[in-house]
Amino acid sequence: MTTPDQTRTADVDPLVLTAPARAGQTLGALAVDVLVPVSLGAIAAVLFATGLPAAGVVVVLLAVAFVGADIALLARTGQSLGGVAAATRVVDATTGAAAGASLLPALLGGRLRIRDLRRGRDPFAPALSPFAFPDTAEAAPPARTSLRGAAPAVQLDSGQRFSLETALVLGRSPSAPADAPATVYQWADLSRTLSKSHARLEWDGRLVWVTDLASTNGTVLRTDGAPQPLLPHQRTPIPGDAVLELGDRIVTVRVPA
């Protein structure tokens, strides 16, 4: 017999793999949205003061039109004109979508979130890439064999280098559980975009695997193709040489031929 709890849809975070906007981005977007109508208002005041009321009325109408268009865009797309310039999107945290007609209640209820479109997934984009079944007729590539002393090299943007002979956990203050031992490296990060235990890298003799450890700012895999944000706790193979983005920090992985 099926119970109601068994048929309930699992809770899903609509903001998975997205990144919160930086303070500078938020201030930049706000500056565009506020300074433009304020500047138009100042121009209108000057026109009224100099005896040009007709021109002043036109400028006031332009300011009102700008504010109306900005609010409409924010409600419908999550991006005001300032948000477009700063590459941010404002969405409802409960749905991951633009607030629409509920913009004011969402604002007053503290449900709005500002996301960085440069560093993370656009909340409007799917969280998972569509899966393509492999061509069974295609011959499998020859497996690489492990060679003594030929473990992949890992280089941090701060200059440190590691040989991936054992699993490696990177973070501000990383730790490895007893059932999954690894070398840990405490990576100084003044910007604090790294989580305490951010990502785990390991080499199985044939492939390098990377796992995002539910970090706050996410892990992005960059190869010759499009950037691929990683799902938390999902072990993902690295196809040869690649670059990883851990928050704002860069890790380069080089696999020996």
Examine residue 129 and state whether it is found in any structural domain, yes or no.
no
74 and 27 together in one domain: yes
104 and 186 together in one domain: no
Asked if residue 249 has pLDDT above 80, the reply is: yes
Please state the pTM of the whole predicted model. 0.47
112 and 27 together in one domain: yes
> How many distinct structural domains can be found in the chain?
2
Strand ranges in the chain using DSSP code E only, listed in sequence order: 19-20, 88-92, 112-116, 153-156, 161-163, 168-171, 183-186, 199-203, 208-212, 219-222, 228-229, 236-238, 242-246, 249-254
Examine residue 85 and state whether it is found in any structural domain, yes or no.
yes
d(CA 86, CA 29): 6
pLDDT in tens, 48-63: 899 898 988 998 999 8
Higher pLDDT, 18 or 153: 153
Examine residue 170 and state whether it is found in any structural domain, yes or no.
yes
| CATH, residue 157 | 2.60.200.20
Do the beta carbons of residue 49 and residue 158 sit within 8 Å?
no
Task: Name the domain boundary from 116, 143, 173.
Answer: 116
108 and 166 together in one domain: no
Do the beta carbons of residue 19 and residue 89 sit within 8 Å?
no
Beta bridge partners of residue 64, listed in sequence order: none
pLDDT in tens, 62-91: 989 988 988 888 888 888 888 888 889 998
- pLDDT value of position 144: 44
Task: Name the domain boundary from 69, 93, 116.
Answer: 116
Structural domain for 238, as ranges: 153-254
CA 167, 169, 175, 178: dihedral to nearest 10 degrees? -20
Any idea what the Cα angle at residue 219 is, between residues 166 and 151, rounded to 5°? 25
The residue behind tokens 């002979």 is 165
94 and 157 together in one domain: no
247 and 175 together in one domain: yes
